[in-house]
Amino acid sequence: MKVDMKSTDLSWISKIQVNQPAVLRRAEQIQARRTVKKEWQAAWLLKAVTFIDLTTLSGDDTPSNIQRLCYKAKYPIREDLLKALNMHDKDITTAAVCVYPARVCDAVKALKAAGCSIPVASVATGFPAGQTHLKTRLEEIRLAVEDGATEIDVVINRSLVLTGQWEALYDEIRQFRKACGEAHLKTILATGELGSLTNVYKASMIAMMAGSDFIKTSTGKETVNATFPVAIVMLRAIRDFFWKTGNKVGFKPAGGIRSAKDSLAWLSLVKEELGDEWLKPELFRIGASTLLSDIERQVSNLYLWSKLTGVFEKGIEKPN
């Protein structure tokens, strides 16, 4: 059940200010330290796999590309490696696959053929710019849902943020929410184009008030995508919203997250800012297309290291 925080007006939004120097200091602290001890890294990396929205958003996507993507989503880590780690019976898959609206049917068909229930997410609302007519954006959501998407990643009209039209932004996202029906709404803020951390916080609050199930950093197409300063602001907006309403909203960083080391840093950040209860696919996702390959490579390297040290003789350490 969503709690509507909207009052008779949103004038209070204009009074919000983010302490940018404090946010930047916090981001530097996080990036300067090692996030996870080596003997725990394999477990944490396998956990990271379960948060990935495995994504392809290319102009040359074809049904065969989507089929390969869905196969990788179901089998993200080599079976022999999972058996060696005694993790072969844990049903490790990615959290979802994410595609363009025109490819939703292909993804649904491929996953059904593979006999798995991984959700299909679709970008929508004129992705990535969000500059098409509202009627067209709403229809795109409805068509994606009709084709079988159970998660919709919408993009906001950034001009509404840059010109301070908070009521209009709220109303648009409410219409997105309605068009989604039962599908989960993930709202992409495109933070690299919002101008300031204060605007990021304001847009985060508006998106949550309007009914978003997740707030997402970026489309992955901007010049600047997911960064720690932006994430800290969004995570604290999520925390503030939870304290005020009792509603938990999810967080999805996306864009530029390519290495296993990156994924560990993002898990650690969410754990520190929001706690363990947010470390589940219902409340945390990572949007990525190439991350999975590096995670598999690093897990393999960690297994070889364990053979020399005996660390995993009784199975890998559980995330702590």
Q: Which of 74, 186, 202, 252 is catalytic?
A: 252
Both tokens assigned to 43 = 């477990």
Could you give the CA distance from residue 234 to residue 153 in angstroms, rounded to a whole number? Answer: 17
**Does 6 map to a domain?**
no
* Assigned token pair, 42: 């394999």
Please pick, among 38, 216, 244, 261, the residue that the annotation labels catalytic: 216
* pLDDT tens digits along 262-303: 999 999 999 999 999 999 999 999 999 999 999 999 999 988
Domain membership of residue 139 (yes or no) is: yes
Token code pair at residue 134: 């509202």
Residue 4 lies in a domain: no
- Read off the tokens for 276: 């363990």
Question: Is position 221 annotated as part of the catalytic site?
Answer: no
252 is catalytic: yes
The C-alpha atoms of residue 239 and residue 145 are separated, in whole angstroms, by: 29
Determine the pLDDT at residue 3: 42
Compute the distance between CA of residue 225 and CA of residue 310 in angstroms, rounded to an integer.
39
**How many distinct structural domains can be found in the chain?**
1
In a domain, 317, yes or no: no
- Does 1 fall in a domain? no
pLDDT at 312: 56
Residue 304: domain span: 17-309
pLDDT tens-digit series, residues 97-115: 999 999 999 999 999 999 9
Digit-coded pLDDT (tens) for 5-39: 545 468 889 899 999 999 999 999 888 776 677 77
CATH number of the domain within which 150 lies = 3.20.20.70
User: Does any domain span residue 5?
Assistant: no
Please report whether residue 277 resides in a domain: yes
State the pLDDT confidence band at 120, using cuts at 50, 70 and 90. Answer: very high
**61 within domain boundaries:** yes
Q: How far is CA 107 from CA 96, 157, 179, in A?
A: 10, 27, 21
